[in-house]
Chain A
Amino acid sequence: MSTATTMHDETGHVPPAEVEEVELYHAKTWLGKYVFSQDAKVIAIQYGCTAIAIGMVGLVLSLMMRLQLGFPNEFSFINPSNYIQAVTMHGMIMVVYLLTALFLGGFGNYFIPIMIGARDMVFPYVNMLSFWIYLLSVLILVASFFVPGGPSGAGWTLYPPQVMLEGTPGHEWGAILMLVSLAFFIIGFTMGGLNYVVTVLQARTRGMTLMRLPLTVWGIFMATILALLAFPALLVSAIMMLFDMLLGASFFMPAIVSMGEQLDHSGGSPILFQHLFWFFGHPEVYIVALPAFGMVSDILSVHARKAIFGYRMMVWAIVAIGGLSFIVWAHHMYVSGMNPYFGFFFATTTLIIAVPTALKVYNWVLTLWRGNIHLTIPMLFAIGFIFTFVNGGLTGLFLGNVTVDLPLSDTLFVVAHFHMVMAVSPVLVLYGAIYHWYPKISGRMFHQGMAQFHFWITFVGSYAIYYPMHYLGLMGVPRRYFSMGSTDFILPSAQGLNEFITIAAIIVGVTQLLFIYNLVWSLFKGEKASDNPWNATTLEWQTATTPPGHGNFGKELPLVYRWPYDYSVPGEDIDFLPQNQPPRGAG
């Protein structure tokens, strides 16, 4: 109990106010309140709805791919060109336009200010611009479906030279629009991202020290810092590539012969692009993962009625993972033709990252250990996340270890791994988080039965999709293949497995409609939610109204006396003490 006392002794300290509170700009028109709103919560919902809408497009594209893989050449509307275009757009949409936008733009906007006890982001106007530029980037991306040649079919990694050559679908308009859209996305994100960082550092309420931040905020905060450092690499590579495409530059283009014709490029390096891309691309994994890590920690703690295990370790693990994520990028390039001696360095750094990551997993499970586990919907999703993340994390040890990567690189093993770790796991957290905070955001409870059904199908179904897929990869089935045709080494039974995976994917895909239906149905028909239905400690649950109005809190900002995980504190009558509850005996 000695450590317990230590944490507990830290309650109580609230520094005196140093500055006056700033008046918020309150919009007067309907348009100003709900459309061109400067309220971070409205912006969050705008981000969220846009991201989910474009995510549905990504989902449909993935089902199109699965139809072809499960039942090759059965569907006449799928051909090699639009198949690879679907692969490309699915990847880019899901990674950037759905996950990054939803975690940071959606959850970041809603929860940073309210969890740290601020009234809003520090730059509300820039925050509003951030969303509109994001929307513009989505529209540009969508426009690429309607231009001559269709969207880019270069794979989401957009590797040169093929991205801009005949022989790749959408090599003209589609590729240009993709790059322009990315540039806008990054500009929009930077506006939001600077806001999040400054808000966390400058706008915390009195008593909210950094080591009293909920892990949700820590995760989003660190992910934002990563994004601010990583996205510029993508921005410059997008601009350089546009130079190559439109102005005849040769940053990434060596002398080559395309379709029997000598091209007017020389001296560029395709591998340079890959370095730039993955210098962005690897931190991007953690831009998605860290907010999920943070949110799942809070969900586990609340619904197990127990302090998150090893809070300080969890914070430092987030920081360590964030830092390390910048020196592992070339593990995506072990077989790219770069100097193979790099393999030693990047394999070592990559496997080191496994240590803080594993610690986070242990601490999640140890949070449940000796807890008082309420198997609510958010908790089910959190448990599902632990299971899929353990699986996805462990297969990362295969691909990160350079030797083991040799046979597995560019096969379905890679596809299965990154979907398990970067798609299924964070998305399970997203669902858990949406169900967890839905009562606060909407003021209504969601429908239990639909949510249960949604959980079971999504969790078990996703595992059924991706676990067997690893073994197709082990056997040597490559990724990004329109059809396998005939080979000597792939067992005919592999096609049966592919059919199974496709059927599972269709079931999981269709079930997501139920989730959206539940969100909309509950908004009107759901039971009214109380201010704090889960008996949680963090500040967003302590607002005067639900949903919270502009400014988040009532007349006075809450004062924070304790860390966010005072659950089941010995000697207390109730099993949670909100962060703004003064210690016994104090004023």
Chain B
Amino acid sequence: MVIAIVLFVLIVGSVLFHFLSPWYLTPLASNWSNIDDTIGLTFWVTGFVFVVVNLFLAWCVIRYRKCDGHKADYEPENKKLESWLTGLTALGVIAMLAPGLLVWGEFVTVPEDASEVEAVGQQWHWSFRVPGVDNKLGTTDVRFINADNPFGMNPDDPDGQDDVLIAGNELHLPIGKPVKLLLRSKDVLHNFTVAQFRVKMDLVPGMVSYLWFTPTEVGEFDILCEEYCGVAHFAMRGRVIVEEEADYQAWLNSYSTYAEMSSQPAGNAAAGETAYAVCSVCHGTQGEGNVALNSPKLNGQEAWYMKRQLEYFKSGARGSHEDDVYGKQMAPMATTLVTDTAINDVIAYIETLPDIPAPATVTGDVLHGQEVFANCVACHGADGQGLQALNAPRVAGMTDWYLVRQLQNFKQGIRGAHRKDMYGHQMTMMAATLPDEQTINDLVAYINTLPQ
């Protein structure tokens, strides 16, 4: 008897939960309203069956529960009833399947006017490639991938020369235009998902998969990786920004083509030396850092990382949080490097400085730190040497008190919370796993023991 009441409560509760709870599909932002319609239809059909079958079950339990003198019917089968039920079930199934297949037919048929954009996945970042004026993406191959050619562009393919390369986690798209997204992975399986667009597809190394949609709402949308891709899977984030055509063109024009990037001149160390005079006041003439002025060591840090941070400081992606006391000091200094060339030059100079290991100042439980460091290895390398391919800077042999402060900043959202700091955002999620200050000290104490 109690079971019948509980069943009844669960049935009513489930239906109420469905209609009253705030958790449901996110508002649609693409053309795929008929996917939502198919889901709605499926809810109605299955919801009906759920309520009817379970109510009948609850009723049977009440009506036919054991009582004295009662005997069950003897009816081993009832062909007619079973045929009816088979037929009705088949009808219900067809009612859901037929629209489903029709919509799938649309999904596999990409509109002819869809523009092609490539999304490239790797552990644990996105990057994008847009064809140039020829409307044709150049060929790529894994064998061409290296630090200077992260997209694996075929240098001899004329189609690829005008491809616009976007080495960042943010993709812009014009509103109202169908897009065929070509999906390519450099390493493991990934999955391109924007919840508001409804469609998703895996990226598979060794082949190119695709999906298509038409963005219908201006706005910013999170890209999530939804195929497990290793320990930082949950931190592989990107963003699609849907905007008007003119804004989109402006954004696209701010990126360089493959040809432009390959012909970019290397930084000039001699020119950089002059600019570095400003830096040396705090960071020291040898880039050795200065604890009294809260300035970290620069020599030995990787060039690509320093370049990105200078750009972040300039654009406000870093050093603009009100609690980032020291970052706010650095931000105006970075703006003194007006052009890209100036940045390249000063970094070229820093690269000529001798790499002197910073003195160890942080102490802690090295063994515990080693355990924690296991979660850092995947990106920063077993020796904390940094890996450009994973956008992870060197941590070993760098200023230890600075590492502690940055980990705290990441943890508290002082650094990495800015929407344009997508790489920093990833680090906020990893730093959040460090429960307390002692763990951070232990970790950095272990990093101090790494060979440099």
Cα A162 to Cα B232 with chains together (Å): 12
Contact B49 A411 (CB under 8 A): no
A359 contacts across to B, CB distance below 8 A: 82, 85-86, 89
A415 within 8 A of B: no
B residues 1-50 with Cβ under 8 Å of A?
Answer: 1, 3, 6-7, 10, 14, 17-18, 21-26, 32, 35, 38-39, 42, 45-46, 49-50
B356 within 8 A of A: no
Cα A175 to Cα B150 with chains together (Å): 29
Cα A361 to Cα B17 with chains together (Å): 24
Q: Quick one: closest B residue to A406, CB to CB?
A: B199
Cα A118 to Cα B7 with chains together (Å): 40
CB B45 to nearest CB in A, in angstroms, measures 8
Residue among B66, B193, B432 making CB contact with A373, cutoff 8 Å: B66
A313 within 8 A of B: yes
B7 contacts across to A, CB distance below 8 A: 383, 387
A126 within 8 A of B: no
Given A81-B231, A347-B104, A406:B35 Cβ within 8 A: yes
Cα A494 to Cα B24 with chains together (Å): 11
Residue among A7, A162, A257, A375 making CB contact with B61, cutoff 8 Å: A375
Max chain A C-beta neighbours (<10 A), residue from B38, B67, B141, B188: B188
B377 contacts across to A, CB distance below 8 A: 166
Contact A368 B60 (CB under 8 A): yes
A259 contacts across to B, CB distance below 8 A: 123, 378, 381, 387, 389-390
Contact B61 A383 (CB under 8 A): yes
Contact B89 A309 (CB under 8 A): no
Cα A79 to Cα B376 with chains together (Å): 11
Q: Quick one: closest B residue to A388, CB to CB?
A: B10
Contact B14 A467 (CB under 8 A): yes
Among the listed stretches B131-139, B281-289, B433-441, which one makes contact with chain A, having 4 or more residues with CB under 8 Å of it?
B433-441
A residues 239-263 with Cβ under 8 Å of B?
Answer: 254-260, 262
A residues 453-484 with Cβ under 8 Å of B?
Answer: 456, 459-460, 463, 467-468, 471-472, 474-476, 478-484
Cα A150 to Cα B444 with chains together (Å): 23
**Total interface residues on B, using CB and 8 Å?**
123
B70 contacts across to A, CB distance below 8 A: 372
Contact A348 B101 (CB under 8 A): yes
CB A16 to nearest CB in B, in angstroms, measures 27
CB A352 to nearest CB in B, in angstroms, measures 7
Contact B22 A493 (CB under 8 A): yes
A residues 317-370 with Cβ under 8 Å of B?
Answer: 335-337, 340-341, 343-344, 347-348, 351-352, 354-355, 358-359, 361-363, 365-366, 368-370
Residue among B42, B71, B226 making CB contact with A575, cutoff 8 Å: B71
CB B56 to nearest CB in A, in angstroms, measures 6
B381 contacts across to A, CB distance below 8 A: 259
Q: Quick one: closest A residue to B368, CB to CB?
A: A76
Contact A343 B104 (CB under 8 A): yes
B348 contacts across to A, CB distance below 8 A: none
Residue among A341, A391, A398, A474 making CB contact with B24, cutoff 8 Å: A474
CB B6 to nearest CB in A, in angstroms, measures 7
Chain A interface category by residue count: 35 or more
B342 within 8 A of A: no
A residues 157-172 with Cβ under 8 Å of B?
Answer: 159, 161-162, 165-169
B14 contacts across to A, CB distance below 8 A: 391, 467
Q: Quick one: closest B residue to A407, CB to CB?
A: B198
A311 within 8 A of B: yes
Among the listed stretches B172-180, B204-212, B242-250, which one makes contact with chain A, having 4 or more residues with CB under 8 Å of it?
B204-212
A450 within 8 A of B: no
Contact B224 A487 (CB under 8 A): yes
B81 within 8 A of A: yes
Cα A371 to Cα B375 with chains together (Å): 59
CB A386 to nearest CB in B, in angstroms, measures 6
Cα A299 to Cα B360 with chains together (Å): 70
Contact A260 B388 (CB under 8 A): yes
B415 contacts across to A, CB distance below 8 A: none
B421 within 8 A of A: no
Given A337-B202, A368-B64, A375:B1 Cβ within 8 A: yes
A residues 90-136 with Cβ under 8 Å of B?
Answer: none
Among the listed stretches B92-100, B265-273, B307-315, which one makes contact with chain A, having 4 or more residues with CB under 8 Å of it?
B92-100
A518 within 8 A of B: no
Q: Please, what's the 1-or-0 string for A541-564, where 1 marks a CB less than 8 Å from any CB in chain B?
A: 000000000000000000000000
Given A352-B93, A398-B42, A406-B200, A365:B205 Cβ within 8 A: no
Contact B108 A305 (CB under 8 A): no
Cα A167 to Cα B439 with chains together (Å): 22
A336 contacts across to B, CB distance below 8 A: 202, 204
B389 contacts across to A, CB distance below 8 A: 257, 259-260
Cα A312 to Cα B83 with chains together (Å): 13
A390 within 8 A of B: yes
A310 within 8 A of B: yes
A370 contacts across to B, CB distance below 8 A: 64, 72-73, 75
Contact A365 B77 (CB under 8 A): no
B residues 211-249 with Cβ under 8 Å of A?
Answer: 220-222, 224, 226-235, 237
B189 contacts across to A, CB distance below 8 A: 159, 161-162, 270
CB B424 to nearest CB in A, in angstroms, measures 12
Contact B107 A485 (CB under 8 A): no
Residue among B107, B228, B378, B435 making CB contact with A406, cutoff 8 Å: B107
Given A84-B231, A372-B66, A374-B66, A311:B76 Cβ within 8 A: yes
A394 within 8 A of B: yes
Contact A402 B82 (CB under 8 A): no
B264 within 8 A of A: no
A380 within 8 A of B: yes
Given A161-B188, A383-B61, A485-B237, A348:B74 Cβ within 8 A: no
B205 contacts across to A, CB distance below 8 A: 161, 254-256, 270
Q: Quick one: closest B residue to A489, CB to CB?
A: B26
A260 contacts across to B, CB distance below 8 A: 147, 387-390
Cα A312 to Cα B439 with chains together (Å): 64
Cα A169 to Cα B374 with chains together (Å): 9
Given A307-B75, A391-B50, A354:B81 Cβ within 8 A: no
Contact A403 B49 (CB under 8 A): no
Cα A578 to Cα B333 with chains together (Å): 92
A15 within 8 A of B: no
Contact A491 B435 (CB under 8 A): no
B292 within 8 A of A: no
Contact B145 A483 (CB under 8 A): no
Cα A155 to Cα B234 with chains together (Å): 13
A567 within 8 A of B: yes
Contact B100 A404 (CB under 8 A): yes
Contact A375 B224 (CB under 8 A): no
CB B78 to nearest CB in A, in angstroms, measures 7
Contact B103 A403 (CB under 8 A): yes
Q: Quick one: closest B residue to A153, CB to CB?
A: B231
A497 within 8 A of B: yes
A73 within 8 A of B: yes
A194 within 8 A of B: no
Question: Which 9 A-B residue pairings sit nearest by Cβ, starting from the closest?
Answer: A254-B206, A260-B389, A476-B195, A337-B209, A167-B230, A410-B226, A162-B188, A76-B435, A306-B72
What are 16 sample pairs from A and B whose C-beta atoms fall under 8 A apart? A4-B74, A162-B187, A166-B378, A260-B390, A271-B204, A305-B71, A306-B73, A358-B89, A365-B56, A373-B64, A383-B61, A460-B10, A476-B195, A483-B429, A488-B222, A575-B72
Besides A259-B378, A371-B73, A482-B433, 6 more A-B contacts (Cβ < 8 Å) are: A76-B439, A336-B204, A344-B104, A355-B86, A371-B72, A467-B17
